[in-house]
Amino acid sequence: MLRTALLMHGSSMLYEVAIASEIFGVDRSELSRTGTWYELVVGTADGAPHPWLAHRSTVSYAEIADVDTIVVPSSDDLDDDPDPALLEALRAAHRRGTRIASLCTGAFLLAAAGLLDDRTATTHWMHAEELRQRYPRIDVRPGVLYIDDGDLLTSAGKTAALDLCVHLVRRDLGAAAATGLARQLVVPAHRRGGQAQFITPPAEPRGSEGLTPTLDWARARLDKPLTVRDLAEHANLSTRQLARRMHAECQTGPLDWLHHQRIARAQELLERTDASVDQIAASCGIGTAATLRRHFHRALGIAPTVYRATFRPA
């Protein structure tokens, strides 16, 4: 089981608490190839049960030591002074290497603990400028749904917390588990809109207009040697105009977008087919198996065969 702590605080908001509880507190091990899911515990200042989650196992802030992930829900009072014990618990967990994810304005608590200094983060767009002004060392990105910065993750407002939690399932248990979860929750596994995602496909345009037809055209031709000029010609733009549009609408450049799409296609084929690494490399337009292995390891930190062994359904 992947032990996850929902760290409650004095101004926790019910919506984001409910999202985390639904995803990490309901056993959906049938979606995981290995039969693994999450074990949810609740963290409170003194270890007493929280009235919203009285049926959950509870630990005190000082006792959060052996969890894999800490989830910090949003705050409805950004002027409230955070509990020093909570901030120290976050710092101690971070020093131990525990992964910490904040939902919506929960990013202000991570910032108050000093964890987001010199890091990239997001929060609800209405509060992004306030986060930037209070904590100028943070690279605040208001136009994304969530940011995965490795051991620290932050989400934008409200339902973006759901996007981040589904992303955590994808990162921990694979795309098939995340897709199955999304179907049960009746939500999209990947939501259109500005996104900054770790390993998963990069952001897409905000609406049905813009670059969507060109990006869909390119995704259908990933096995071809596509160039930036090819994308620009399809979009009826110059290469410079295309680059500006992609940075504005997708928060990434054309070459990076193509690269991430090819890696994402390789992940999908590794999970869902018996194709060899050579065949997958050709299908993704990456060339040889050696080139795919190099790019795959650089993006995900593991070899394609290890990824398949981990996430391919039995």
The dihedral over CA atoms of 281, 287, 291, 296, expressed in degrees to the nearest 10, equals -40
Q: Is the pLDDT of residue 205 over 90?
A: no
- Separation CA 8–CA 292 (nearest Å): 43
Q: What pLDDT does 84 receive? A: 94
- What secondary structure does DSSP assign to 148-191, as a single string? E-SSEEEE-STTHHHHHHHHHHHHHH-HHHHHHHHHHHTS-SS-
Q: Do 6 and 88 fall within a single domain? A: yes
- In a shared domain, residues 169 and 213: no
| Residue 255 belongs to some domain of the structure | yes
Number of domain units in the chain: 2
**In the predicted model, what is the mean pLDDT of the chain?**
88
Residue 153 lies in a domain: yes
> In this structure, are 167 and 38 located in the same domain?
yes
- Same structural domain for residues 175 and 298? no
Name the token pair of 97. 């290497």
Question: Is 209's pLDDT higher than 60?
Answer: no
29/159 same-domain check: yes
Over residues 76-129, the pLDDT tens digits come to: 988 888 999 999 999 999 999 999 999 999 999 999 999 999 999 999 988 999
Domain extent for 224: 206-314
Q: Quick one: pLDDT band at residue 1, thresholds 50, 70, 90?
A: confident
* pLDDT given for residue 195 in this prediction: 33
- Specify if 194 maps to a domain: no
Any idea what the CATH number is for the domain that residue 59 is in?
3.40.50.880
pLDDT band per the 50, 70, 90 thresholds, residue 194: very low
Percent of the chain with pLDDT over 90: 62
Closest to 120 (Cα-Cα) out of 96, 154, 157, 78: 154
In a domain, 279, yes or no: yes
* Residue with the two structure tokens 């004095």: 10
Lowest mean pLDDT among 197-206, 225-234, 262-271: 197-206
Q: What is the pLDDT of residue 190?
A: 61
Q: Supply 144's token pair.
A: 């994304």
DSSP 8-class letter at 254: H
Output the pLDDT for position 204: 47
Same structural domain, 224 and 167 = no
Residues 180 and 226 in one domain: no
CATH code of 244's domain: 1.10.10.60
Residue 190 forms part of a structural domain: no
Question: What is the percent of the chain where pLDDT is above 70?
Answer: 93
Say if 197 falls within a structural domain.
Answer: no
Of the two residues 132 and 271, the one the predictor is more confident about is: 132
> Is 90 in the same domain as 159?
yes
Model pTM score: 0.65
What percentage of the chain's residues is helix, strand, coil (to nearest 5)? 50, 10, 40
Q: Is residue 233 located within the same domain as residue 152?
A: no
Same domain, 172 and 229: no
Same domain, 159 and 213: no
Same domain, 222 and 164: no
